[in-house]
Amino acid sequence: MNLAFVNNGSKIMGIFQKQILEHQKYIDYESNESTDFAEAYFKEMKKLENEPDFGGFGMQQLKNICFDLWSAGMETSTHVISWGILYILHHPEVARRIREELDSKICGDRTVTLDDKHKLPYTNAVINVFPDPYKFKPERFIDSGGNLKKIEEVL
C-alpha cells in the first residue's frame, strides 16, 4: 500500500478521534432520534456497554467505519465533480442551459438546496448517470414535456 496513504491515514484517524470525542459530549441519549451516524452508533454502544468490546460497537470500530466512508466517498465524489465540470466546460451550450434554468427558477442570490430539485429538470439531467456514457447528452433524461424522466436507479 502507498506509504503516503498509510501516513496520512493515521493522521486522519487522529482527526476522526478528536471529532468523535467532541461530538460524544453533546449526545442526547434520551432521544430516539439520531442526527447522524456517529450519534446512532453511540446509542447502540451504550445499549451494549456491558458486553465485551461493546458487542463489536467499540471506538476503534467507529473510527474504522468513518475511515471507510471517508475514503469511499471522498475520491469518488471529487473525481465525479471534476469530470462533470470538465464536460460542462467543453459543452458551453449545456452550461448556458443550466445557467438559464437556475436564473429562471431560483429567485435571487440564494444557495440551491435539495428542495429545489423538482424545479430543475435540466440541471438534474446534467448530473445524472446515463446510458450511452460516451455521449454527453443530458437531453436524454428530459421527456417531450420538458420534465425530468423518472429513472429508478437515480434518487
In one-letter notation, the amino acid at residue 4 is A
Nearest Cα neighbor of 124 from 144, 146, 92 is 146
80 or 104: CB nearest ligand HEM = 80
Is residue 147 within 8 A of residue 139, CB to CB? The reply is no
CA 91 to chain centre: 25
56 or 73: CB nearest ligand HEM = 73
Q: Which residue is nearest to ligand HEM (CB)?
A: 73
CB of 77 to ligand HEM, least distance (A): 5
Residues whose CB falls within 8 Å of the CB of residue 133, separated by 6 or more in sequence, listed in order: none
52 or 131: CB nearest ligand HEM = 131
Q: Radius of gyration (Cα) for the chain, nearest Å?
A: 22
CB of 35 to ligand HEM, least distance (A): 16
Residues lying near ligand HEM in the complex (CB under 6 A): 68-69, 72-73, 76-77, 80
Tell me the torsion sign for CA atoms 78, 37, 59, 21. Answer: positive
15 or 72: CB nearest ligand HEM = 72
CB of 76 to ligand HEM, least distance (A): 3
CB of 34 to ligand HEM, least distance (A): 16
